[in-house]
Amino acid sequence: MTKISIIGAGSAFTQDIAMDILMIEDLEAGTIALVDIDAQRLEIARKLVLKIVELTGKRWEVIASTERREVIGGSQFVINQIEVGGLENVRYEYEIPLKYGVNQCIGDTLGPGGLFKTLRTLPSWIEIVQDIEELCPDSTILNYTNPMSAVTLLTSRITDIPVVGLCHSIQNTSAQLAEYAGVPYNEMNWKAGGINHMSWFVELSHAGKDLYPVLLDKMKDPELLKQDPVRLDAMKYLGAFVSESSGHFSEYIPYYRKRQSLIDKHCNSGYNGATGFYADNWPIWRKENDERILAQLEGRQPLELKSSNEYAAVIIEAVLKNEPKVIYGNVPNRGLIENLPQNGVVEVACLVDRRGVQPTRFGSLPEHLAALCRSNMAFFELAVEAVLKRDKEMARHALMVDPLSAAVCSLEEISSMFEELYEAEQGFIPVLK
């Protein structure tokens, strides 16, 4: 019997992922185990998944507990979507760096926000992985938690259990590119690879025609440029479109957020790069998501059965039914992208069937694109090893090689910013030596 555990079930991902799983054709029964340390949000998630089971007419059992060891045993798939201390620290991770001139839009992957999210997330995740090894050693881990590369990298360092990091940036961006270029999505061909939030569409064509000249021509329209200002501008100079939104991407490179005039020019609003967008809105989104689910459970809003573009259920179906599918996953490199660190994590196309997730070889990225990825991978390497070795100086060095911090601050300023954040988040980060 199929068993799937979702850890961090209070997350906004649960609705789409559970619905996708329960809509898998001919998968009529199984168990979904829900885990969250917040009992109230766990109960909302439990009622939601039960409601979806009822709507699909299937025979799935739903179990839930704030104690993961009670329910995850025997799982074939463990889905990770935990958030550790986010509400308490999101303001620190935005406001303290801003005093030093480090202006973040999202701050959940790189930069000061990404580093301290790593430092407070990974210790809890290590304990969860140890329980997975003991209670469901034959499972596959599907990770949705950011920082995606750091969580996946750490997992690959501490266990032999297969892990793949899953994002929706390739799906979303490929659809956007078809729209920007004015071609049917199912007729567009592409090849993408790199790292999470920085995969590059190195090939993009329709009916044998290169779409990059088309995009360069179309971006002369200021209305199109306004839709995706950082990514389109970067494409113009770097020769390839990147996989994550303008707001996210603006933080991963040193070019767009180092002075206010550039922010005003390229980072206009919302996910396009607005200052403090995540810190200002994420607590509100979280509350609104819970309220929307409660309204659906009480019948005040419709709960429609519709599939999302997330990969979790695609993997589960491909493995259980041995029906080959292709996804884009974050996996240990091991020769997949030749000019990126072999001990890091990369994002490439993967074949999935009964043998699990099998990454495909990409080859080499254009060297200038690989160099931008390598700067991010060095940050992840230092941050992950800082957690594993409980090494405070290694964590500080991670912030020193962060592209945005380095573009704005001196080494002394970065060190002071690190110390101030470390002191502010003492209750959420294990003591580093």
Residues marked as catalytic: 168
What 3 state SS string does 154-181 have? HHHHHCCCCEEECCCHHHHHHHHHHHHH
Alpha-carbon distance 329 to 337, whole Å? Answer: 13
Give the SS3 label for residue 217.
Answer: helix
Alpha-carbon distance 188 to 425, whole Å? Answer: 46
- Concatenating the DSSP letter of every residue in 11-49 gives STHHHHHHHHHHTSTT----EEEEE-S-HHHHHHHHHHH
- The angle at the Cα of 289, spanning 284 to 291, to the nearest 5 degrees, equals 95
* Residue 43 burial (10 A CB sphere; 0-12, 13-18, 19+): middle
CA 202 to mean position of chain CA atoms: 21
* Residue 262 burial (10 A CB sphere; 0-12, 13-18, 19+): middle
Alpha-carbon distance 350 to 137, whole Å? Answer: 22
Enclosing H/E stretch for 80 = strand 77-80
Residue 138 neighbours by CB distance under 10 Å: 9
* Residue 304 burial (10 A CB sphere; 0-12, 13-18, 19+): exposed
Instruction: Provide the total of helices (H) and of strands (E) in the chain, helices listed first.
Output: 17, 13
Phi and psi at 332, nearest 5°, equal -55, 140
What are the beta bridge partners of residue 34? 6, 64
